[in-house]
Amino acid sequence: MTTPPPSPPRHPAVVAYLDALRANGKDSTARTYGHYLLLFEGWLDRARIDLMRATTDQLAGYQLWLSTDRPARLREVRARTTQGTAVIVMKSLYVWLRKRGFLIHDPAKKLVPPSTPTSLTVRKDHLTLQEATALIQTQAALIEQHPAETQPRYRALEVRNLAMLSLALATGRRVHGLVALQLDQIDVERNEVRVDREKGRMGRVLPVAEWAMATVRRYLAEGRPVTLDGASSPWLFVGMNAACLCTRAVGYVLDRAVAETIARNPDLTDLPHKRISTHSLRVSFATLLFAGGANIRSINELMLHRTLSTTAKYTPIPISDLRRVLLTAHPRA
């Protein structure tokens, strides 16, 4: 049973703002902002405050609520990063409304988002080479649990999951970019993926490792036709009742694969203590490339980062490597 997607924001001003983001090619930003603005709309409704008539003091009450409210799914209040993002998104909405002439003044201008400690690295658990290999091998083994003769559709879904996880690990694509892949963006002969646009930046053609593209070829031959069952879809990854997968479906597939990997590989003692998310696969991609000798400029291009400083956060240099470089290169070491 699939969980229905959350309701989109309803206020005309919010809908217009999100539409403007999408019109500028910022689909991923619109999806993320929509989540936070839906939270803001809910608070406005409960407080009986009109979004277009809200005062600075009232919006300060929203910021205070973010720091004290305990969502039902959490045991404690929201993290400061989440609070900060919610305030920043709300402020960006009012900036846009002011620039478009919908408001005379910006009531959120004086609000200051809570500061968070800066970090030189991306604080996200990621997979080692051994763990990544075990994850792919485990997902491949799950396919064989469903014979093609008696359970063709379940087998097809497992073949899809293998291709999806393999492509994520082999390309470092963001999860939104992964589910947005279309058939005409995949070149199985040249082992390439074409990224037209991502996060407002023009894309490029990305190479894909042969082993990962082999799983995609298998999915296109064995899995996708069975899953579609005569239907058509331009998207690469499809479901039994969906022409295009959502990001939460990818998260569910990954959670299940990680749990199965832990159960089948008791020697991976660190993996049970890690929180592996879809973004962890992106961090794993960068970390494994860097450890394998790839230079940071090449990783920057493969990850479609705007700046090298962003890529550097994904590729921290271990102290052992720094020590070895110092002893090797320093004239008085």
pLDDT of residue 4: 45
pLDDT interval class at 3 (50, 70, 90): very low
pLDDT at 322: 63
Position with higher pLDDT, 308 vs 165: 165
More confident site: 164 or 7: 164
pLDDT of 222 over the 70 cut = yes
For residues 107 and 94, is the Cβ–Cβ distance under 8 A?
yes
> What is the average pLDDT across 107-111?
95
Residue pLDDT, tens place only, 253-300: 999 999 999 999 999 999 999 999 999 999 999 989 988 888 888 988
Average pLDDT over the chain, rounded to an integer: 88
DSSP letter string, 107-174: TTTT--PPP----SS-------HHHHHHHHHHHHHHHTTS-TTT-HHHHHHHHHHHHHHHHHHHH---
What is the per-residue pLDDT for 316? Answer: 72
How far apart are alpha carbons 254 and 79 in whole angstroms? 24
Q: What's the confidence (pLDDT) of residue 303?
A: 87
pTM for this entry: 0.71
pLDDT at 237 (0 to 100): 96
Q: How do residues 181-195 score in pLDDT, each as one tens digit?
A: 999 999 999 999 998
pLDDT tens profile 296-318: 889 888 888 888 888 888 877 66
CA distance 19 to 38: 15
Range 72-96 average pLDDT: 86
Residue 175 sits at the vertex; the CA angle it makes with 172 and 180, to the nearest 5 degrees, is 105
> Rounded to the nearest 5°, which phi and psi values hold at 293?
110, 0
CB-hemisphere CA count at 13 Å for 70? 3
